[in-house]
Structure 1
Amino acid sequence: MVNKVFTVEEARGLMPELLRRAALLIGIRADLAELGHDLAATGRSHLGGIPEAKAMEARVAEVLGWFDEQGIEVKGVAPLLADFPAVLSGESVRLCWIEGETALGWYHRSDLGFPGRRPLP
């Protein structure tokens, strides 16, 4: 993982690519869940079999690797939750984005996590 401290502007600059990759991940995640369920329940799926599941898992790892390469911390994948390490007013914070949001508009103190979320000033 890259140890990066982002400005709000830097983090917002990555949002178009984050949203694109998040959409990919969400689609693959849904397909993988359906495939796994179908294989467990009936032994077959219109999405394929074990090789397709392994390919989907590899694709998930590849997409998540991009976040790591940028220094973005993925805190969860269902829902997808991403934090950008930052400093606001001299305090260590995480600029916080969760699946479904279309922009980066929240932060929380690094020691508080998601329950401490506040709108960005």
Structure 2
Amino acid sequence: MNRIFTVEEARALMPALLGHASDLIAIRADLAEIGHDLGSTGRSRLGGIPEAKALEARVAEILGWFGEQGIEVKGVAPLLVDFPAVLSGVSVRLCWIEGETALGWYHRSELGFPGRRPLP
């Protein structure tokens, strides 16, 4: 989906985004633990390969939600997402990274994360 967001539209999605992000972060940690434990001891308190596969499926589902909304996932550890937008006639990405509680940053589309600035 090639959606262009207004700041207001992106901010309206933030409660749902934060919920999906919270789920993804917890699942990501569980997957890391299962993978480490299975690799080092052959077992994990969180389960085995079937449980890991179920968690991977849930990650794919969550990432699919972002894509369905038109939100670009730029990274998963930490979770970093962009909302395509236009500010003052310039193509930008409204930028959110794991740990932030609100959408408050943007960068020109061609600059990426190093070009982040506070939203006006």
- TM normalised by structure 1 equals 0.99
1:11-58: CA deviation from partner (whole Å, max 9, x where unpaired): 000000000000000000000000000000000000000000000000
State the alpha-carbon separation in 1 of the partners of residues 61 and 40 from structure 2: 28
- The aligned residue for residue 24 of structure 2 is 25
Percent identity for Structure 1 against Structure 2: 83
Q: Aligned partner of 1:100: which letter? A: G
Alignment of 1:1-121 (within 5 A): 2-121=1-120
SS at match of 1:57: helix
- TM normalised by structure 2 equals 1.00
SS at match of 1:92: strand
State the alpha-carbon separation in 2 of the partners of residues 70 and 17 from structure 1: 11
SS at match of 1:86: strand
Q: Aligned partner of 2:18: which letter? A: L
SS at match of 1:100: coil
1:46-93: CA deviation from partner (whole Å, max 9, x where unpaired): 000000000000000000000000000000000000000000000000
Q: Aligned partner of 1:17: which letter? A: A
Any stretches of 5+ residues in structure 2 without a counterpart?
Answer: none
State the alpha-carbon separation in 2 of the partners of residues 60 and 23 from structure 1: 12
Q: Aligned partner of 1:74: which letter? A: V
State the alpha-carbon separation in 1 of the partners of residues 90 and 66 from structure 2: 23
SS at match of 2:83: strand
Q: Which runs of 4+ in 1 moved over 4 A?
A: none
SS at match of 2:13: helix
